Amino acid sequence: MDLFSNIGKVAVITGGGSGIGKLMAETLAESGAKVVLLGRTLEKVRDAAEEIHYKTNTDATAYSCDVTNNEQIQDVLAQINDEYGSIDILVNNAGTTVRGNIEDLDESGWDKVMDTNVKSVFFMSQAALPYMKKQGYGRIINTASVAGDVSLFFSSVYGTSKAGVIHLTKQLAGELASYNITVNAISPWFFETEFNKKSLEDKDFKEMVENRTPMKRVGSLDELKTSILYLAASGSSYVTGQNIFIDGGMTSFGL
């Protein structure tokens, strides 16, 4: 369907080397977009880009970028725009966590999580804005989390960072709407990713997650695809400032 086609669009995905970021890149490539994967480790994002290229027969490339470094962000987006001529879709997916309650965390852990999860979203969006404004079109998708909306016992800094992403999504949506740039977020619960692998290998922890979820299971990555595609495509042109929970009913579940 043309409303969900991204043929001719250029999509930049941070944290695209694995997990949800890689899935987002693959989904956008399947819809026709040229995808550019960003990550600290060039080899990792390059391998992911090659895999996506061979799987989708779409242009997929990779650049090394520390998304907590504003100078690197500015440089890499300028390179991408020079090579492709536009930046149409920006997916701010790079993320990290340091688990623990307030008594367990130090300043370095706080800074690491806030820089990767919030600072990067702000400065990646800021750097992409001139290119999107010039072309009168843009889609920004941020990866938040259910932890940004509800309290989880191990997420005092992670949840705070994702709450920041959700609010920043709303703030930027209002600021950028007049330029035909939409800004939205997705908030996943537990999915089978490299990020969550260690936690889900703990049988008691996985059982706790499943019991807290009305659907009684964790999500599979394919169940994220339609939300990503919807928010990236022209068909969602009147949707901005929204946060989609993809959580098996977790955030709507009481006692």
Conformation bin of residue 36: beta by default, left when phi > 0, alpha when psi is -120 to 50? beta
Percent of the chain with pLDDT over 70: 99
- Please state, as a whole number, how many other Cβ atoms lie within 10 Å of the Cβ of residue 211: 9
92-123: per-residue pLDDT in tens?
A: 999 999 988 899 899 999 999 999 999 999 99
63 as an active site residue: the answer is no
CB neighbours of 213 closer than 8 A, spacing ≥ 6?
189, 190, 247, 248, 249, 250, 253
**What sign does the CA torsion over 73, 76, 79, 83 have?**
negative
22-70: per-residue pLDDT in tens?
A: 999 999 999 999 999 999 999 999 999 999 999 999 999 999 999 999 9
Q: Which CATH superfamily is domain 2-245 in?
A: NAD(P)-binding Rossmann-like Domain (3.40.50.720)
Q: Are 91 and 15 in contact (CB under 8 A)?
A: no
Of 63, 84, 137, 158, catalytic: 158
Helical residues (DSSP H) of the chain, grouped into ranges: 19-30, 42-56, 70-84, 107-114, 120-135, 156-176, 197-200, 203-212, 225-232
Q: Rounded distance, CA 79 to CA 86, Å?
A: 10
Q: Rounded distance, CA 181 to CA 168, Å?
A: 14
For the record, the structure tokens of 190 come out as 């537990």
149-190: per-residue pLDDT in tens?
A: 999 888 899 999 999 999 999 999 999 999 999 999 999 999
Task: Sketch the domain layout of the chain as residue ranges.
Answer: 2-245
64-87: per-residue pLDDT in tens?
A: 999 999 999 999 999 999 999 999
